[in-house]
A = this chain, B = another copy of it.
Amino acid sequence: MLIVMRHDAPEEDICRVVAAIEEMGYQARPMPGKQRTTVGLVGNDGRVDGSRLAALSGVQEILHVTKPYKQVSREWKAEPTVIRLSGGLSIGGDEVVVMAGPCSVESERQILEAARCVREAGATVLRAGAFKPRSSPYSFQGLGQPGLRMLARAREETGLLIVTEAMDAEGMDLVADVADIIQIGARNMQNYSLLKHAGRSGKPILLKRGLSATIQELLLSAEYILAEGNPRVILCERGIRSFDQSTRNLFDLSAIAVVHGLSHLPIVADPSHGTGHRDMVSPMARAAVAAGADGLLVEVHPNPDRALSDGAQSLYPEQFERMMKETRLIAEAIGRRLAEPAGVRA
């Protein structure tokens, strides 16, 4: 950490900064420059809170040299984390895992039909929400517990693993009984109570990036889960806020390369929410795999015209099939392969 002094800060201000650093248990190293003095704080293990120093008289700004997260970082653990899931599937290794399904569970019939169709095309995980965070209180809020039971049925019948969202601690306990992976949605990325609960759940967690979260904040939220003892976190890029309304969100594919540089955790991409338009899902899925994504999260609906939510971004079954073929070729072009459904894996 570097404390930059104002150009006109008197000697006594600098002394007060030095004293404060030493009082906090670190070493201070003042460096007079041509225009101003800067004071280095030596010995920071990433946990120093700079706001106290920023408050001192004569301080212009604080520059951070050390990142504030620890366990999620590449410096803490150099090799990529490979998360073992049920049924021999794993994420973070050579295989690219495709998770697909409708936005919401709408009925047993719908979810079974969706499950069969995505399995047939080669997906290995079924995605669908029973608890739905909707910006309007008047929109369909999901089927809740009955929806979870339908997911369990789909799992039984198709052998697909299940990823589904939890919105609060109580719901997470219910979801944990059914899901192979628990999803924390973008709007809850900084719901720290929920993150801590996830850290104690013992389940793999799919953590979606918040709508205006920096990569550093995403990693800090993951750190909350690891700090509670759960190292099985899968990050997910799903689009961020932008000034341009030509897509629903701005799908930030460079996040994949940034995360791979800073962290050992796997990261998947969600081109459905990332773009909001069915026609853009395939090109962006290909791009995500080309950029190095460890998996995809894709909305597919047996009959998108009748979907209760997110119809416009859900693929038709035949579009999904084509997408699978295209991304398979891309995966191979960079020396990876798509994970195969359980039967095939064996």
Q: What's the Cα separation between A55 and B8 when bound, in Å?
A: 33
Closest Cβ–Cβ distance, residue A96 to chain B (whole Å): 13
Name the one of B35, B55, B134, B329 contacting A314, with C-beta atoms under 8 angstroms.
Answer: B55
Q: What's the Cα separation between A261 and B6 when bound, in Å?
A: 12
Is the beta-carbon distance between A191 and B192 smaller than 8 angstroms? no
Closest Cβ–Cβ distance, residue A14 to chain B (whole Å): 14
Q: What's the Cα separation between A178 and B309 when bound, in Å?
A: 40
Is the beta-carbon distance between B330 and A290 smaller than 8 angstroms? yes
Name the one of B38, B65, B212, B247 contacting A4, with C-beta atoms under 8 angstroms.
Answer: B65
A307 at the interface (CB under 8 A from B): yes
Name the one of B36, B274, B332 contacting A254, with C-beta atoms under 8 angstroms.
Answer: B274
Name the one of B4, B43, B212, B223 contacting A33, with C-beta atoms under 8 angstroms.
Answer: B43
Interface 9-mer from A86-94, A122-130, A154-162, A281-289: A281-289
A214 at the interface (CB under 8 A from B): yes
A258 at the interface (CB under 8 A from B): yes
Closest Cβ–Cβ distance, residue A50 to chain B (whole Å): 8
A133 at the interface (CB under 8 A from B): yes
Is the beta-carbon distance between A45 and B55 smaller than 8 angstroms? no
Is the beta-carbon distance between B287 and A275 smaller than 8 angstroms? no
In residues 127-164 of chain A, which contact B (Cβ within 8 Å)?
133-140
Q: What's the Cα separation between A331 and B168 when bound, in Å?
A: 42
Size of the chain A interface, CB-CB below 8 angstroms:
112
A253 at the interface (CB under 8 A from B): yes
- A65-B33, A251-B254, A254-B274 known; A168 vs B193 contact (CB < 8 Å): yes
Is the beta-carbon distance between B40 and A31 smaller than 8 angstroms? yes
- A243-B243, A305-B52 known; A133 vs B256 contact (CB < 8 Å): no
Q: What's the Cα separation between A190 and B46 when bound, in Å?
A: 30
- A55-B304, A275-B257 known; A171 vs B193 contact (CB < 8 Å): yes
- A134-B192, A214-B244 known; A306 vs B52 contact (CB < 8 Å): yes
List the B side residues contacting A243 at CB < 8 Å.
212, 214, 241-243
List the B side residues contacting A245 at CB < 8 Å.
214, 245
A29 at the interface (CB under 8 A from B): yes
Q: What's the Cα separation between A191 and B139 when bound, in Å?
A: 15
Is the beta-carbon distance between B241 and A51 smaller than 8 angstroms? no
Residue of B nearest to A190 (CB): B187
Contact with B along A213-249 (1 / 0, CB 8 A): 0111100110110010000000000001111111100
Residue among A171, A211, A314, A326 with the highest chain B CB neighbour number at 10 A? A211
Closest Cβ–Cβ distance, residue A273 to chain B (whole Å): 12
- A139-B49, A252-B250 known; A66 vs B290 contact (CB < 8 Å): no
Question: Can you offer 9 A-B residue contacts whose CB atoms are under 8 A?
Answer: A34-B66, A47-B138, A49-B308, A133-B192, A137-B220, A187-B192, A240-B244, A243-B243, A251-B253
